[in-house]
């Protein structure tokens, strides 16, 4: 059972936090999906890996700019994908 606050501002915060959480979760999920699509295409040897790589890097940068991931994680993910693309 989830307790609802009684104070109006606290109720509004709960509502705001739930919206933000949904938005952030969706953004992170989109980023992870883009990375997985690139990885899968590279493994399968598809022709559109360059395009998927750009989309994945863009998704990582977007998540970084929104504060969903830290700078080091963004750099690490992009570095791994670049190395994978070059192989």
pLDDT digits (tens, 9 = 90+) for 59-86: 999 999 999 999 999 999 999 999 999 9
In degrees rounded to 5, what are phi and psi of residue 66? -85, -5
| CATH number of the domain located at residue range(s) 9-86 in this protein | 1.20.58.110
Which residue bears the tokens 């395009």?
51
Map out the domains of the chain as residue ranges. 9-86
- From the number of C-beta atoms within 10 Å of its C-beta (0-12, 13-18, 19+), residue 62 rates as middle
13 to 2, 28, 32, 67: CA distances (angstroms): 15, 22, 28, 19
> How sure is the predictor about 4, in pLDDT bands with cuts at 50, 70 and 90?
confident
């Amino acid at each position: 059972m989830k307790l609802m606050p009684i104070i109006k501002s606290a109720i509004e915060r709960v509502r705001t936090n739930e919206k933000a959480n949904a938005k952030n979760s969706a953004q992170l999920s989109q980023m992870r999906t883009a990375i997985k699509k690139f990885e899968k295409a590279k493994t399968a040897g598809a022709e559109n890996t360059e395009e998927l790589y750009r989309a994945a890097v863009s998704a990582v940068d977007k998540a970084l700019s929104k504060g969903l991931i830290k700078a080091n994680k963004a750099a690490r993910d992009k570095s791994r994908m670049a190395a994978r693309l070059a192989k």
